[in-house]
Amino acid sequence: MSRLICESAALIEGGGGVRFSVGMAHGNVPAFVVRFKGLPRAYLNQCGHIAVELDWQEGRFFDDAGIYLVCATHGALYEADTGRCAGGPCRGNGLQPLRVEERDGNVYLIESNESQST
């Protein structure tokens, strides 16, 4: 099962992301999708250091170079293509990836049995 997140054109390489939410067993959880190396990459919007949202300004997830995802609160850095901790206070705790698919000019969340979209 899939759910529309946004149009493909809304995601610019290394640029702003699109926020959405995912319904989990414990309630709605914020998430985001960005474009990196030509592909949409989606993660729960929770820092691996402390579960705060990464973006201080809505949709701003990348560092100034457009290479790493950065927690605006603590400065933790994450690899944009894997969500792995790349430095800072995340100390090896990465972002939780979500499955997404791009087709027909849109980006879709691929929902699993554990999550339901909101």
- pLDDT digits over 41-75, tens only? 999 999 998 889 999 889 999 999 999 999 999 89
Domain boundaries, the chain: 12-98
Per-residue model confidence as pLDDT tens digits over 15-30: 999 999 998 888 899 9
We find that the CATH architecture of domain 12-98 is: 3-layer Sandwich (2.102)
Q: What is the DSSP letter of 9?
A: G
Of 48, 50, 51, residue with least CA distance to 69 = 48
Please list, in sequence order, all residues whose beta carbon lies within 8 angstroms of the beta carbon of residue 96, skipping any fewer than 6 positions away.
43, 44, 46, 83
Of 103, 27, 29, residue with least CA distance to 19 = 29
